[in-house]
Structure 1
Amino acid sequence: MNISSPRAVARDFDSTQFRQALSQFATGVTVITTRLADGSFRGLTASSFNSVSLEPPLVLWSLSEGANSMPIFSGNSHYVINVLGAGQAHLAQRFSRRTDDPFAGVEYELSRTGQPILKGVSAWFECHNRSRYPEGDHVIFVGEVENCAFHPQASLIFHAGQFGSTQTR
């Protein structure tokens, strides 16, 4: 017996209610970074990070189709997903705003492909930009992880519009 519907039924909620419901799901906070052809760096804050596969090692994140950084991340071959530590909310805020140089004063090192890895993060994943899937008003980026590292510590989380941490007492 097939109980699936061929399409979704009409919604019984508005976008505000949807956003509020989504805010009840605590997420980790990442900064996605990349290097442009001219050698400059770009980055953005994203909480849409998730694992996809262990073999091959795949992760995903999503970006609004209308984001100014869409051409940058769609066109680059590599990027780094930096999982922020509990004390790095300032980096999440910094990379969520438009600034001339969000990397000014930020400590980082370069990956083997020349991508910026933020210092002090809980983990990082250097990814080949494997595929992109438009869905709704976002594009889902699937990255094939070429290198990664972790530093056990409490991670930054976002819940109900507030930053918190995974740290327990």
Structure 2
Amino acid sequence: MTMAELDLRRVYGAYPTGVAAVAGLIGGRPVGLAASSFVPVSLDPPLVSVCMAHTSTTWPLLRDLPHIGISVLGAHQEETGRRLGARGGDRFAGVPWRSTANGCVLIEDAAAWYDCTVEQQFRSGDHDIVVLRVHDLDAAYGTPPLVFHASRFHQLR
């Protein structure tokens, strides 16, 4: 990484974000990743977005699924965030999850859940901006989200 890229990463890290699992069923098994770029976009129509690196080997497996689950991880799910953010191994080993009838994979005990379909995808720099239409959602009100800030996980106080 160049010095400019390291500076960008450091300064981008000054802005805290939540951590979301983006996942679906492929061949009856959960496939997913962690994203710290989850953002609500629109109320009408209901849209959210995530950014996916062009280097991701998981996003190409998920993007054509009929439905994708988004789970906003709770503050108590730091280990789940680490597992889903790992580059190798079974990301779902020891992670409690459930699937919906339409193939969304949702993480149990998360702060919020979304059942989505890909609406649009835009190439932008070294990532794609993915806009997803929300078809169903729920939240565990009172469960604080897991926060990613300065390259580390944190809990809101």
Q: TM-score, normalised by structure 1?
A: 0.86
Q: Secondary structure of 1:120's match?
A: coil
Give the equivalent residue in structure 2 for 1:162: 152
Greater shift after overlay, 154-163 or 94-103?
Answer: 94-103
Give the equivalent residue in structure 2 for 1:24: 14
Q: What are structure 1's unaligned runs of at least 5 residues? A: 1-12
Deviations along 1:69-93, one digit per CA (max 9) or x if unpaired, are 1311222221111100011000010
Alignment partner for residue 108 of structure 2, among 104, 119, 127?
119
Consecutive aligned runs of 4 or more in structure 1 exceeding 6 Å deviation: none
Alignment of 1:4-153 (within 5 A): 14-36=4-26, 38-152=27-141, 153=143
Pairwise CA distance, 1:120 = 0.6
Q: What are structure 2's unaligned runs of at least 5 residues? A: none
Pairwise CA distance, 1:105 = 2.5
Pairwise CA distance, 1:26 = 0.4
Pairwise CA distance, 1:44 = 0.3
Identity %: 31
Q: Tell whether the 8 Å contact from 2:68 to 2:104 is kept in structure 1 after alignment.
A: yes
Q: TM-score, normalised by structure 2?
A: 0.92
Q: Distance in 2 between matches of 1:84 and 1:133?
A: 25
Pairwise CA distance, 1:98 = 3.1
Give the equivalent residue in structure 2 for 1:6: none
| AA in 2 matched with 1:90 | E
Q: Tell whether the 8 Å contact from 2:66 to 2:102 is kept in structure 1 after alignment.
A: no
Please provide the CA RMSD for this pair: 1.4
Deviations along 1:34-64, one digit per CA (max 9) or x if unpaired, are 112x222201010000011001100000110
Q: Distance in 2 between matches of 1:23 and 1:104?
A: 28
Higher radius of gyration, 1 or 2: 1
Pairwise CA distance, 1:115 = 1.6
Pairwise CA distance, 1:160 = 0.7
